[in-house]
Amino acid sequence: MSETFSLPPLEIEQYKLENGLRVVLNHDASIPVVALAVYYDVGSRNERPGKSGFAHLFEHMMFQGSENVPKAGHFQHIMKAGGTMNGTTSSERTNYFETLPANQLPLALWLESDRMRSLAVTQANLDNQREAVKEEKRLRYDNQPYGQIFDLISEMIFTNFGNAHSTIGSMEDLDNASVEDVQEFFRIYYAPNNAVLVISGAFEADTAKQLVKTYFGDIPSQPIPAQVDVEENGEVANKYKSWEDKLAPFPAFLLGWKIPKRRSTEFNSLYLAGKLLYDGDSSRLYQKLVKGDESVIQLFGFTDERRGPSGIFVGAIPKPEMDLSVIRDVIMREIRSIATDGPTPDEMQKLHNQLINDSVRMRQSSMNRAQQIAEFTLYDGDADLINKELEELLAITPAQIRAAADTFLNNENRSLLDIVPAGKG
Amino acid sequence: MTQTSLKTAPEPLAPIPFHLSEPFETRLKNGLRIVLCENDRLPLINFRLAFYSGDADEPSDAIGLTSAVAALLTEGTENYSSRELAEKVDRLGAHLSANSSEDFLVIAASALAMYEADLIDLLAEVLFRPTFPESELSLYKRNTIENLKFQRSQPNFLANEQVGRILYGEHPYATISPSPDDIEKLKRQSLQEHHASSLVPNNAVLIVVGDFEQDQLLAKLEEVFDRHWPKGEPPKREFDTPPDRSAVTITIVDRPGSAQANIVLSNLAAKRNDPDYFAAVVMNQVLGAGASSRVFMNLREEKGYTYGAYTRLNMKKLAGDFEATAEVRTAVTGDSIREFLYELKRIRETPVSEDELADAKNFLKGVFPIRAETQEGLTNLIVNQQLYGLPQDYLQTYRENIDAVTADDVQWAAAKLIQPEKLAFVIVGDGREILAQTSEFASDIEIYDTEGTKKDMAELTAEPAAPASDLSGKWSLSLDFQGQKVPVTLKIEQEGAVVTGTLDTILGSGTISGGRVTGNKLTATATTEMQGEAVEFTINAEVESDSITGTITAPIVPNALPFTGTRDN
């Protein structure tokens, strides 16, 4: 049934302003709601040694006010209009987004353009947000059981600094940042020609275009930022580290592999192999470890999708008296089984239905559409890929999944991070 | 447009009306109500089979039965094991689950529209043929009991437990959670009997939202849900009325050594289908629903007493309550209550300003269509309209009704729903400190411990016995952790009877603030941060010169862990 499934394409119109801002309109008037996503082509991948954590610090600065919007005014404006908003930072990009009643499109464009044009990069805001980031690091990473393990394993599987270091960065680097450094960072990376603007939802195309021109048209472009080199040399990621975590209640481990870039056949194949291993109550490892052996409290896995070399991870928090190496053997055996025999026909059917289901559900929300379109525009230069993604994934064969698991998910390419509760090791 | 127009926030465009069509309703011969809402925007379908009885309807000697029945519906049937069910559901890329609340039991199923027939079969399978296997029941009991024990370490749970008891008395809403003993008592047979007697068609509604062909679906629903499902006797919802209250009372849950006080001020308010619902919602938005509401601006932004302060209307099917809540530094407990009382009085006595009224209404009207964007969100709106018996055109007229609320209506709703002279104060934290700060607010004061047992007030008001010994120093403990000996370090500084310091264990590192020494007994709490929430370890010990014995109670771990140790020299 799934092979014949097709979805009507999303309406996509893409164009560029004279200052280089890439604009995508995705018209869908089924609900009178509009979502705006602004993606800047800057993430931790752009940071050099000594300047780590800048991209994320900047995400904070973007809520500190601009020429016509006071500090914390962004949030108040959106809230009073009946909307929701946020911003996030990853290795690949920094994004800002809001969803509002459709007639509030001008407000969203005004707020985003005001901070792109005239962010208040002052010493006081910098000092204040540096402290906020330190507090966030304490709360979300240092003071959390298992809070640092994903940063640690990225440092193990990658050798290129741009890939290996964490988004939160080094507090020492942030302390050394001068207001001039930060102003320069803003000038280079927060320029219209380094950004993508997506509007998704209910709007008149002509009105939207006119408003975009009014609010963003006169923001000057800047010289194009230097290209970043995220290539890894050919070496595999075979490493071991034991990490003492003083907050962790139980021992745990995390396995990581370095894999090819997003949207490559190999990446897509491994994404699907991962779903079979750890996604949902019927997944191989959930049934083996959580239900069958009852040896694991928590099982998790995910792919880290990047424009360059990417990652896939599987981890577990075993029950206290369990032998970790036995559980790792179960995981490696299941991976070997996929690498030898490939997925079963039943598993392929499950994958296809889940992919179609995910794809249909993604289309319901204007914000989800805007974000996915922004990624394809920023990373691949083509918003229309949103209409081809499902087809690409459904085309992956059992043989490709088998081969990718065999080539990449082996012991030679595997990093192992053992998490040892401090005082127990 | 000129440059100056970029200086101020732009005017909105013309509003676009949001139209929701009214669903089709019918009833099968066995009494099952059917509500169908066609929505062919995307090829998805969503089912909710909801029963108009829930946790409140179970006998008082079988608390927890309804939630166990709901949880185990999907853990094994006559035709499939738990694993086979998970595989069948996942193979369709579908979702299937069941849950209960005070008033309802709901089975939810969703999938791609092309799997409509398979989904109906799965829904029928878990509804008509669950087997409640012993092995799954035993796994459910183990996991649930661990969760319940963990809850008791959380101050919010302790506060809600008291609020339920005080406001609702003999009404079943008084019980907010089963106890580990209740869960222990559950038997497979009672689950089977409850399933057979309470899941009857003439006490249920089946709501379907999505992309379907109405006549075809209706025929299929009749075939599956009418022919083999006889009428039954719906439970009578006749309960004792919640008690009348005539004065402010104070209930303190003593958690020695807590760094924070969790404050809840509450009174009975209104049930969900109260005629003043819209005025109530707008009132609560102005007063305390969000991060730009009055109590948040006052207690957090101006005074800095707390990370967050809110008010809430819990409007259930048969009754409801109003709550003002905040977690504050213990030292400002009294001051925080004064600010809350000021805000409660102000919204009752003074009309809200036009700006505040407009902001609150704009927010509520604005987020409404955003909530209806996904089929899941739209389904939830329709389910609430159906379950609470709201008017047929409730969703269609929601925004108009919000818009019609005036400043007078808000004041009227505040006066009706907030009763400062009848508030129940429930405060969880360091009892001695809280008592000193709150006794001016009422004469009716009672004290409970964290196990929910009433304590003698004299324990808090009596002069504490002089500490027999000075515990200052570094203590090396050996903790018995499920058979393993685990080293723990306790660093203590003692001033008078008050103890501060740190606790370093494999469960994390905690800060002790405000522990107490009474005679040769130590009670203290160490606070640490886990996954964004403050969690606490409780230490109870007895000291004999340089040796110590006692227990540490920690979240995640079900039982108190015994230890022995000595002071380092």
Cα torsion angle, A161, A167, A170, A173, sign: positive
Token look-up 């609560």 returns B284
Q: What is the pLDDT of residues B427-476, one digit of tens each?
A: 999 899 999 999 999 999 999 998 899 998 888 777 666 666 788 899 99
Would an 8 Å CB–CB cutoff place B363 in contact with chain A?
Answer: yes
Q: Which among A5, A26, A66, A80 is the top mutation candidate for probing chain B, defined by the most B β-carbons within 10 Å of its own β-carbon? A: A80
Cβ within 8 Å, pair A79-B43? no
Q: What DSSP assignment string belongs to A109-123?
A: HHHHHHHHHHB---H
Q: Nearest chain B Cα to A358, which residue?
A: B93
With contact defined as beta carbons under 8 Å apart, do A220 and A19 qualify? yes
Give the per-residue pLDDT at B195.
Answer: 96
Would an 8 Å CB–CB cutoff place B297 in contact with chain A?
Answer: no
Token look-up 């127990």 returns A424
- What is the average pLDDT across A287-302? 88
Show Cβ contacts of residue A57 under 8 Å, excluding neighbours closer than 6 positions.
A129, A130, A133, A169, A174, A177, A182
Crossing angle (nearest 10°) for helices B134-151 and B188-198? 90
With contact defined as beta carbons under 8 Å apart, do B188 and B75 qualify? no
Show Cβ contacts of residue A149 under 8 Å, excluding neighbours closer than 6 positions.
A243, A245, A252, A254, A315, A417, A419
Residues of A in contact with B529 (CB under 8 A): 139, 143-144
Q: Nearest chain B Cα to A73, which residue?
A: B9
What is the rounded average pLDDT for all residues in chain A?
Answer: 93
Mean pLDDT is lowest, of A37-46, A378-387, B473-482, for: B473-482
Would an 8 Å CB–CB cutoff place A217 in contact with chain B?
Answer: no
d(CA B272, CA B390): 9
Q: Which among A75, A250, A289, A360 is the top mutation candidate for probing chain B, defined by the most B β-carbons within 10 Å of its own β-carbon? A: A360
With contact defined as beta carbons under 8 Å apart, do B132 and B83 qualify? no
Residues of B in contact with A363 (CB under 8 A): 42
Cα torsion angle, B333, B334, B335, B338, sign: positive
Give the per-residue pLDDT at B353.
Answer: 97
Q: Nearest chain B Cα to A68, which residue?
A: B7
Alpha carbon distances (Å) from B109 to A1, B124, B345, B378:
20, 11, 46, 14
d(CA A241, CA A239): 7
Is beta strand A195-201 parallel, antiparallel or unpaired with respect to A33-40? antiparallel
Show Cβ contacts of residue A38 under 8 Å, excluding neighbours closer than 6 positions.
A95, A96, A97, A112, A116, A195, A196, A197, A198, A374
Cβ within 8 Å, pair B44-A33? no
- What is the average pLDDT across A134-154? 82
Angstroms from B194 CA to nearest CA on chain A:
26
Model's pTM, two decimal places? Answer: 0.84
- The tokens of B340 are what? 């809350």
pLDDT reading at B532 higher than 70: no
Cβ within 8 Å, pair B10-A107? yes
Cβ within 8 Å, pair B482-A106? no
Is beta strand B533-544 parallel, antiparallel or unpaired with respect to B547-553? antiparallel
With contact defined as beta carbons under 8 Å apart, do A398 and A348 qualify? yes
Q: Nearest chain A Cα to B9, which residue?
A: A107
- What is the average pLDDT across A22-34? 96
Cβ within 8 Å, pair A249-B556? yes
Show Cβ contacts of residue B504 under 8 Å, excluding neighbours closer than 6 positions.
A246, A423, B488, B489, B490, B491
Q: Which among B92, B291, B366 has CB closest to A101?
A: B366
Angstroms from A202 CA to nearest CA on chain B:
9
pLDDT reading at A424 higher than 60: no
Please give the sequence-ordered ranges of beta strands (E in DSSP) within B224-305, or none if there are none: 249-254, 260-268
Q: Which among A79, A111, A357 has CB closest to B112?
A: A357
- What is the average pLDDT across B305-321? 93
H helices of A217-307, in order, are 265-278, 284-285
With contact defined as beta carbons under 8 Å apart, do B372 and A31 qualify? yes
pLDDT reading at A402 higher than 90: yes
Would an 8 Å CB–CB cutoff place A321 in contact with chain B?
Answer: yes
Mean pLDDT is lowest, of A99-113, B135-149, B260-274, for: B135-149
Show Cβ contacts of residue B324 under 8 Å, excluding neighbours closer than 6 positions.
B263, B264, B265, B266, B288, B295, B309, B310, B311, B340, B343, B344
- The tokens of A208 are what? 């939207």
Angstroms from B568 CA to nearest CA on chain A:
17
Give the per-residue pLDDT at A248.
Answer: 79
pLDDT reading at A72 higher than 80: no
- The tokens of A85 are what? 């908003």
Residues of A in contact with B528 (CB under 8 A): 143, 247
With contact defined as beta carbons under 8 Å apart, do B423 and B266 qualify? yes
Angstroms from B112 CA to nearest CA on chain A:
6
With contact defined as beta carbons under 8 Å apart, do B377 and B46 qualify? no
What's the farthest any 2 CA atoms get from each other in chain B?
Answer: 84
Give the per-residue pLDDT at A1.
Answer: 44
Give the per-residue pLDDT at A132.
Answer: 80
Q: Nearest chain B Cα to A287, which residue?
A: B83
Cβ within 8 Å, pair A101-B83? no
Tell me the pLDDT band of A145, cut-offs 50, 70 and 90.
confident
The alpha carbon of residue B147 and the mean position of all alpha carbons in its chain are separated, in whole angstroms, by 14
Element at A370 (helix H, strand E) = helix A366-375
The alpha carbon of residue A132 and the mean position of all alpha carbons in its chain are separated, in whole angstroms, by 22
With contact defined as beta carbons under 8 Å apart, do A253 and A320 qualify? no
Cβ within 8 Å, pair A202-B16? yes
Residues of A in contact with B371 (CB under 8 A): none
Q: What is the pLDDT of residues B228-243, one digit of tens each?
A: 899 999 989 899 999 9
Angstroms from B558 CA to nearest CA on chain A:
13
Residues of A in contact with B115 (CB under 8 A): 353
Would an 8 Å CB–CB cutoff place B534 in contact with chain A?
Answer: no
Show Cβ contacts of residue B335 under 8 Å, excluding neighbours closer than 6 positions.
B303, B305
Three-state DSSP state, A103: helix
d(CA B28, CA B204): 11
Q: Which among A357, A362, A366, A424 is the top mutation candidate for probing chain B, defined by the most B β-carbons within 10 Å of its own β-carbon? A: A357
Q: What are phi and psi of B405, to 5 degrees?
A: -70, 130
Would an 8 Å CB–CB cutoff place A179 in contact with chain B?
Answer: no
d(CA B10, CA A301): 45
Cβ within 8 Å, pair A82-B507? no
Residues B145-162 as b or e (16 or more Cβ within 10 Å = b): beebbbbbbbbebbbbbb
- What is the average pLDDT across B482-511? 81
pLDDT reading at B305 higher than 80: yes
Strand partners, A239: A415
CB atoms within 10 A of CB B29: 10
With contact defined as beta carbons under 8 Å apart, do B328 and B298 qualify? no
Q: Nearest chain A Cα to B113, which residue?
A: A357
Q: Which among B91, B93, B292 has CB closest to A346?
A: B91
Strand partners, B60: none
Token look-up 């101020």 returns B8
- The tokens of A115 are what? 């901070």
- What is the average pLDDT across A151-165? 95
Residues 250 to 309 of A: which have CB under 8 A from any B CB?
Answer: 280-283, 287, 291, 294
ipTM surpassing 0.85: yes
Tell me the pLDDT band of B507, cut-offs 50, 70 and 90.
low
Give the per-residue pLDDT at B530.
Answer: 59
Residues of B in contact with A361 (CB under 8 A): 44, 374
CB atoms within 10 A of CB B199: 22
Three-state DSSP state, B521: strand
Crossing angle (nearest 10°) for helices B65-72 and B134-151? 130
Of the candidates A10, A130, A7, the one whose C-alpha atom is nearest the C-alpha of residue A60 is A130
pLDDT reading at B259 higher than 70: yes
pLDDT reading at A327 higher than 90: yes
With contact defined as beta carbons under 8 Å apart, do A110 and A100 qualify? no
Strand partners, A34: A100, A201
Q: What is the pLDDT of residues B189-203, one digit of tens each?
A: 999 999 999 999 999
Greater confidence, A291 or B275?
Answer: B275
Token look-up 């509760």 returns A421
Angstroms from A351 CA to nearest CA on chain B:
8
Give the per-residue pLDDT at B506.
Answer: 65
What is the rounded average pLDDT for all residues in chain B?
Answer: 91
pLDDT reading at B560 higher than 80: no
Mean pLDDT is lowest, of A332-336, B189-193, B559-563, for: B559-563
Alpha carbon distances (Å) from B486 to A7, A320, A423, B401, B527:
58, 13, 8, 62, 20
- The tokens of A10 are what? 């999303």
With contact defined as beta carbons under 8 Å apart, do A200 and A28 qualify? yes
Cβ within 8 Å, pair B82-A79? no
Element at B409 (helix H, strand E) = helix B407-417
